[in-house]
Amino acid sequence: MKKTGAIAIIFLFITFSVSAASSEVDKIMQEANQMYQEGKYEEAVKLYNKIIDNDYEGAELYYNLGNAYFKLNKLGYAILYYEKALKLAPDDSDIQYNLKIAKARTIDRIQEIPQLFFVEWWNVLVTSFSVTTWATIVLVFYLVLLIAIGLFFLSKNVKIQKQAFLFGSFAFAILILTVILLFARIKRETSSKYGVLTEQVQSVKVSPDENSNDAFVIHEGIKFEIEDELKDWVKIKLSDGKVGWLKKETFGII
C-alpha cells in the first residue's frame, strides 16, 4: 500500500508539473501574440524565443515567430521559421503563402536542377503530409482493413462477404502505399538536413578554411542542404548543384 501511495503521489506531482508548465507556455504565447498585435515585434520575438528555449515547438509558434521576424525585415530568420513551421504542418496554406512572399524578397535566384516528372511527383506526394499525419492515415486504413476482415469472416451473407472482400482489398492496397509513403517521409527527415542563411551576405568557401578561396556568394534567406560537417564548418549544396563550405554561426537549421 505504501508503494502504491508513493507512486500515486509521484504521478500527481508529474501531472501537476506538466500542467503548470503548459499553462505558463500558454500565458507567454498570449503575451507574445499581444505584443505582435500592438506592433512591438522585438518584444514578441523575445517571448516566442523564450518558449522555444524551454524546448517547446509547434507550427503555430514557428509561424508567429516567422511573422514577427518578417515585420522586422529579417528575412533569413523569417524564412527559417516559416520552413520550420511548414515541416510540422506541410499542408498549411497560410504558412505556404507567407513563405512564398518572404522568398520573393530574397536576392538569390537559384535555378534548380530539373527533375524527372515522376521523381518530382513522388517528392510532392511524400512531403504533402507530416510524419504524424501519414502515421494517422496508416492507422485509419489498418483499422478499416481489420473491419473488412471481420465482416468477411463473421458475416453469413454472401453479398456482404463479397463487398467486405473488395473493400478490404482496396484498404490493403492503400495501406501498403501509405506505409511506403510514411517510411519515405521518415527517411527524408532523418537523412537530410537543411539550413537557411540568416546573415545578410556570406562567402561560401572552397574548403573549410577561412583563408581558402571563395566558391560563390549567397544572401540572406537562401535554403540549402547540409551534406557534411567539420568542426565549425558545414558543407552545403544549393538546389542548382553548387557546393562549398560555410561557417555554422551564419545559418539556422530547419
> In sequence order, what DSSP letters do the residues of 206-246 get, joined into one string?
SSSSTTSPEEEEEETT-EEEEEEEETTEEEEE-TTS-EEEE
Instruction: Give pLDDT tens digits for 6-60.
Output: 454 544 444 444 444 567 888 999 999 999 999 999 999 999 999 999 889 899 9
Enter the pTM of the model.
0.71
Decide whether 2-104 matches 193-253 in CATH topology.
no
CA–CA distance, 94 with 92 (Å, rounded to integer): 6
For domain 193-253, the CATH class is: mainly beta
The domain limits of the chain are: 2-104, 117-191, 193-253
CA–CA distance, 254 with 196 (Å, rounded to integer): 7
Give the count of alpha carbons within 13 A of 94, CB side only. 9
Q: How far is CA 148 from CA 89, 154, 166, 172, in A?
A: 31, 10, 9, 10
CA–CA distance, 57 with 54 (Å, rounded to integer): 9
Instruction: Give pLDDT tens digits for 155-205.
Output: 889 999 999 999 999 999 999 999 999 999 898 877 779 999 999 999 999
Q: 2-104 has which fold?
A: 1.25.40
C-alpha cell at 13: 506531482
